[in-house]
Amino acid sequence: MKDFDFNRYYQNHEVDFAFLEKPSQHEFRWRCADGSWRKSKRRVSSIETFRKSISQDNPSDIYFSTSSWLNPIDLPRLSDETRPHPILLNHLIAFDIDFAPLSLENLEQARITTLKLQNWIEKNYDYELISISFSGSKGFHLFYHDLDRSLFSIENPRERENAVKSARSKLLQEVLLAGFKVDPRITADTRRIIRLPGSIHGKTGLLCHRISLERLSKSVDSWIDQVPSFLGQLKIPKTAKAQNQTPVKKYLKEQEEQIDQHTYMIEVSNHLPGTKDRSALIFWTPYSWGTGAKCFERLNTLIEKENLDYCAIFSDGERVLFICPESITRAKVVKILSQLGIEKLSENLKQREHYWVRISGIMDDDGIWHNEPKFISIINNNNSTSIFSKPHLTLLTKLGIPINNSQHDKLAGNSEPSIRMVVRD
């Protein structure tokens, strides 16, 4: 890679930012062939100013910001209180869909996911599709323009950026809960950069470039050989051995040992929004229970003893996720958890009046998803006296279980559950 003259290539070939309304409002950064990072010290408004910006470097990978700013040069950090907060003018809705490791089979899976996501977005949101990119490696990028400009009219710059981040975070949660494997580091981050179309992917040598919906609709096999390769002809394997689905305990231990690594997941609160002292019973079973017959015997005993109704069971292969969307007093949930030996959640509920539980897989910094909960079954006792949690019934619909609220006469709480995206060191 160090031997390839990237700069010479870019002085003779054009990158593609035609889909950006005003490139001069975006930040441009690049990683050099020696591994160092640089950022543009001037506004990039044309191919000529772009070439001048990189002329002293040998950029192996080139990125642009998904946000546009009044002044994109030398942006202060979010934590910087000594400089005025930058003025956010726009934020592209961006999705990064990767399936690792690189293989034709995984690329095809990424293509199908990207196409399904585009169709789902078109059906459910009023966004304008402005670009689709093949990343030059394991997947694709989708870019949308948010037609609702109300958040960008908020006068206070910090409040404006925070409001946009909050809205994008909600969108990301809905996309992930709908089953689409997108990189959760991209969509909700207003300070995020993403690969620039028309640039060379520094690891594969393939050209990151924009593609049409028509091409996205065709199998990868039908067009991948037409993608330019600049670091020698890349032989993409038909299949590649999937990265090990590391057991949870070992995975978490590795995360503790590698402080610079992060994990990403979605969590739900067991509290019923709109109520004062009502909880749903949600927990992961202890590792010692396993996922076999003994585990389900214990859960059935719990259901019968507490006369629980309509309990959903999921498994990630290591443990079982138990969701009972009933409206239960906090004290009763504390008691149940304590009796089950799930002391951490029991103590959290005593002290904080609610707790958070993971409801998604765990994604690492390499974009690999681990331990995704898969739906197993519903246990329905048809208890006519049960009062159900409206938000947690909504949660089950987001997890793909069809729920008809009209079948439940007694409902408590607001319609939406409290959900958050979590980044853990």
Q: Tell me which of 52-66, 240-254, 352-366 is least confident.
A: 240-254
pLDDT at 329: 95
7-16 pLDDT, tens digit per residue, is: 999 999 999 9
Residue spans in the chain of domains classed CATH 3.90.920.10: 6-226
Angle at 239 between CA 238 and CA 244, to 5 degrees: 160
Closest of 113, 112, 23 to residue 69, by C-alpha? 23
- For residue 320, the cross-strand partners are 315
Alpha-carbon dihedral of residues 231, 237, 238, 240, nearest 10 degrees? -130
How do beta strands 411-412 and 388-389 pair? parallel
Please give the share of the chain, as a percent, with pLDDT higher than 70: 93
Please give the share of the chain, as a percent, with pLDDT higher than 90: 77
Average pLDDT for the chain: 90
Would you call the peptide bond into 101 cis, given omega within 30 degrees of 0 as the criterion?
A: yes
CA dist 335 and 259 (Å) reads: 36
Can you tell me the mean pLDDT for 309-317?
Answer: 91
- What CATH number labels 6-226? 3.90.920.10
| Dihedral angle sign, alpha carbons of residues 74, 77, 83, 88 | positive
Can you tell me the mean pLDDT for 299-305?
Answer: 93
Query: Exposed e or buried b for every residue in 370-380, given b needs 16+ CB within 10 A?
Result: bbbbeeeeebe
Pair of tokens at residue 120: 């789902």
Q: Tell me which of 211-220, 255-264, 278-287, 373-382 is least confident.
A: 255-264
Kindly report the pTM of this predicted structure.
0.80
Closest of 1, 54, 2 to residue 29, by C-alpha? 54
Q: Does the pLDDT of residue 307 top 60, yes or no?
A: yes
| SS3 state at 163 | helix
pLDDT at 251: 38
